[in-house]
Amino acid sequence: MERRGVVQWAVGSLDDATIHAEVGRAEWHALDAGGPTGPGAFEAAVRLVDADPLFWGEHERAADPALYAHGLMTDPAASGRGLGALVLDLAEAEAERRSRRLLRLDFAPHLLPYYLPLGFTEVGAKDFPTFRTVLLERPAGAIRAG
């Protein structure tokens, strides 16, 4: 994405202490797909959390428990292999395992053409001082049921 001028996460935007704490809480899930980056190299990762009041505050509903995905990333060397979609399917399976009815994401508006064909529905947006994010969700079990 950076080669196309899209900087989603600037280097250093998360400090080491934050990342270590998230890893310690088992929020990060990584995929070693055995591809071009070599065995043992993570080719995709996502952070999964049970609540997201900063982005989803007024949209969170007890009647619709959700799992929230953040920081989805894939190795550029593995581009075009469908790893982003695979990681989202794995996140959805984790949502089902945790008895969550929805998988929710927030992303920059220019990424909508990627996520909408994967079964996500736009349900809102949130404006911050320096950026806007779109709120997306799909029912857990949507891929296997459809």
Q: What is the pLDDT of residue 109?
A: 93
CA dihedral in degrees (56, 57, 61, 67; nearest 10)?
Answer: 40
Enumerate the domain spans of the chain: 14-145
Can you tell me whether residue 17 is helix, strand or coil?
Answer: helix
CA distance 100 to 61: 12
Is residue 120 within 8 A of residue 138, CB to CB? The reply is yes
Arithmetic mean of pLDDT over the chain: 82
pLDDT tens readout for residues 69-104: 998 888 888 788 888 899 999 999 999 999 999 999
The pLDDT of residue 10: 58
d(CA 13, CA 2): 15
Give the tens place of pLDDT for each residue, 105-123.
999 999 999 999 999 999 9
Q: SS3 for 82-138, per residue?
A: CHHHHHHHHHHHHHHHCCCCEEEEEECHHHHHHHHHHCCEEEEEEECCCCEEEEEEE
* Residue 146, pLDDT score: 47
Q: Rounded mean pLDDT of 12-18?
A: 67
The architecture that CATH gives domain 14-145 is 3-Layer(aba) Sandwich (3.40)
